[in-house]
Amino acid sequence: MSSIDVVGTHWRWIRTAGRVAGAAAGLTALSAGLLMRQAAEARRVIPMAEAPPPRGDGVYGAKFGGKALELVILGDSSAAGYGVHRPRETPGALFATGISRRLRRPVRLHRLAVVGSVSAGLPYQVDAALEYQPELAIILIGGNDVTHFSARPAAVRHLGDAVRRLRAAGCRVVVGTCPDLGAIQPIKPPLRWLARRWSRQLAAAQTIAVVEAGGRTVSIGNLLGPMFEADPVRMYSEDRFHPSVEGYARAVSVMMPTVMAVLGTDDRAVLPVAEDVRVLSEAADEAVRAPGTEVAPAGRWARMRRYRWFTARPATAGPVLGGDSTGGVVGYTPEDHEVG
């Protein structure tokens, strides 16, 4: 699919949402009509897509020498980095830079995420990923499943199968679960409340499927919501829907501790500040309510962990964006990257 399907086919979902909400929650025809009007208003203020995101494929940290770690990025526009203008600003480039610096090892990035992708598109992305014999896969998916009104069981099954196939090939997997679409500024209540509910339900189901398949999740939820609401010009890209350079850097900083932990680093910065063991279903529900929580397999149980965020320095010059004092772990300099 081309452009942002969250903007293009989003509106078909909204019309369906109005009908479903009216039937399920007893909304009046007037209330359903309000949802329609809110969808039209959001469509008016969110620009249509103009160009695909830049690619950032290549080797990062070649100066360290040795065999490069093979990293694949799968998912939708949030994984591809829609809304930024330079390859170094994409989430994949930020992950690759941060990993290479902390491991002092080259990282070869393959960005296979597709703008507009739903979870049903993951099998094709995994097919392509396995050709590179990846050691680490990072997946960001779910928003389009909500906006396309995808059947939740099918979407979750596709994600679980993708993780299972990657794990069977010896690849470690970290999944950022569905973000809270209720945090999107152009979406107003009551439509925002409905979007939030569906996003959270999908995120909890994703967590269960991923952990059962042997991967780890990091709940995104509304983790970035307060910052986005406080400074939307800085944290959103021009379309007011996708993150800006700094927004993506913030999201990467939240996931980096789990990424480093799954790679087996013994760096003190990835020691959890809180930890608990729960039944998987309970852990999934709790993670949705506490964004930034990692959920990982622990025998018949699930382990929940929370970390201090790594410092997130965006790919362009600017101030360090909160977190701990690990020195701009997701920062970028031109010598970090060699295209190839």
pLDDT by residue (tens digit) across 301-334? 999 999 987 655 444 433 333 333 333 444 445 4
Taking phi first (over 0 means left), then psi (-120 to 50 degrees means alpha), and beta for anything else, what does residue 170 get? left
- The structure tokens listed for 279 are 């039944």
58-307 fold:
Rossmann fold (3.40.50)
Please determine, for residue 215, whether its predicted confidence score (pLDDT) is greater than 80.
Answer: yes
- The structure tokens listed for 63 are 């100066």
What are the pLDDT digits (tens) for 61-114?
Answer: 999 999 999 999 999 988 998 888 889 989 999 999 999 999 999 999 999 999
Average pLDDT, the chain: 78
Of 76, 77, 100, 180, catalytic? 77
Distance, CA of 41 to CA of 26 (rounded, Å):
24
Of 57, 145, 239, 336, catalytic? 239
Please determine, for residue 139, whether its predicted confidence score (pLDDT) is greater than 80.
Answer: yes
Closest listed residue to residue 326, CA positions, set 303, 310, 306, 340: 310
Q: What is the pLDDT of residue 329?
A: 45
Domain ranges of the chain: 58-307
Please determine, for residue 236, whether its predicted confidence score (pLDDT) is greater than 80.
Answer: no
- Determine contact, residues 266/287, Cβ cutoff 8 Å: no
Q: What is the pLDDT of residue 53?
A: 81
Q: What is the pLDDT of residue 36?
A: 52
- Determine contact, residues 73/255, Cβ cutoff 8 Å: no
CA 205, 110, 298 angle in degrees (round to 5)? 35
Average pLDDT over residues 194-222: 92
pTM > 0.75: yes or no: yes
Please determine, for residue 234, whether its predicted confidence score (pLDDT) is greater than 80.
Answer: no
The residues that bridge with 75 in the sheet, in sequence order, are 140
Identity of the residue numbered 122: L
The verdict on whether 242 is a catalytic residue reads yes
Average pLDDT over residues 156-162: 98
What are the pLDDT digits (tens) for 9-35?
Answer: 444 444 454 444 444 444 455 454 554
The verdict on whether 239 is a catalytic residue reads yes
Of 148, 242, 244, 253, catalytic? 242
